[in-house]
Amino acid sequence: MTKAIMIIPPHADSLNIQYLTRAAQKISDHIEAVAIGPKAPSSLPKVIDKLWHYPIDQKSELSTEQCYQIINTYFEQGHLITLSGTFSKELMPFLAAKLNIMPMTDVIAINTPHFKRAIFAGNIIESITSSQERYVLSVRPSCFKQEYELSPLNAHILDPLDIVSSDQSLSKENSDLPDLLSANVVVSGGRGFASEENFKLLHQLAKHYGAGLGASRAAVDQGYIANDHQVGQTGKIIAPNVYIAFGISGAVQHLAGMKDSGTIIAVNTDPDAPIFEYADIGYCGDLFEVINRLLAP
């Protein structure tokens, strides 16, 4: 049976890895994991057979081309699977094109050789029957939730290849905050913050409460925050227990990324903002006033 190679994204936390493991189990009984970065996970679900680690310097970053070289050199066989997100949107299509394999992105259900994925902002579920001998896919972690018993697993170190670091690097998230894909609570900001400096206040709030930090496409386009944090159809699809939107109007593109959240709270000065139609709790008022109250001792 063809093995599944889990590509562990940078800064993926334990829960993300467990959800990825659940998805990998659905395509193979033999699962191996590969981590490309300064450190390898210290423990993994017991069902994982082997952990590979390609070590790089703490300050080094690799481009998609360089990651492809590593994966193609050491993992010529096996299905390739990772989590949906900025990392996968950069890497997986590149891998698929190089390997001449049709990629399947944002997969929400697996019953090999049958797959389901969300398209058109999640309004349509596409069913795919794949006849390929090898899969390249990314999966929504919220659709494969399962916690495993973890155990220490010694990493097998891969020999370094003759490649150099690149400025065209895979995106990385702020490591001082919970991973956006698995955070139970996410605070997210939009154009209403008006500046990058103001947006730092939301970062403080996220750090204060141990929440994930999200953003609308408008906030990313304005340069308030890196696109690692974008929530939406062209960003990350998340489903936290609580999602708090500050200064986000609620465009369809954004709603596609967070509409499956448990409880949605919206803060906006515009009483007619579309997001209020989807919010469980809405507050029409100044977002800075609300955040300052939440940060007050």
The total number of structural domains that make up the chain = 2
Q: Percent of the chain at pLDDT above 90?
A: 62
The angle, 0 to 180 degrees and rounded to 10, between the axes of the packed helices 196-209 and 287-295 is 40
Which domain range does residue 221 map to? 185-295
**38/57 Cα distance (integer angstroms):** 6
CATH number of the domain within which 269 lies: 3.40.50.1220
What per-residue confidence (pLDDT) applies to 1? 66
Q: Indicate whether 173 belongs to any domain.
A: no
pTM above 0.85, yes or no: no
Q: What pLDDT is stored for residue 167 in this prediction?
A: 42
- Amino acid 60: pLDDT: 66
Give pLDDT tens digits for 3-26: 999 999 877 888 889 999 999 999
**pLDDT tops 50 at residue 278:** yes
CATH of the domain at 13: 3.40.50.620
Given a contact cutoff of 8 angstroms between Cβ atoms, the answer to whether 202 and 287 are in contact is: no
What single-letter amino acid sits at 99? L
**Domain final residue, candidates 137, 157, 177:** 157
Q: Is the pLDDT of residue 163 over 70?
A: no
Choice between 122 and 196, residue whose per-residue pLDDT is larger: 196
pLDDT in tens, 206-255: 999 999 999 999 999 999 998 889 999 888 889 899 999 999 999 998 99
Candidates 119, 111, 110, 112; CA nearest to 139 is 110
Q: Evaluate the omega torsion of the peptide bond into residue 152 and state whether it is cis, within 30 degrees of 0.
A: no
Q: Which residue has the higher pLDDT, 263 or 168?
A: 263
Q: Could you give the CA distance from residue 95 to residue 109 in angstroms, rounded to a whole number? A: 22
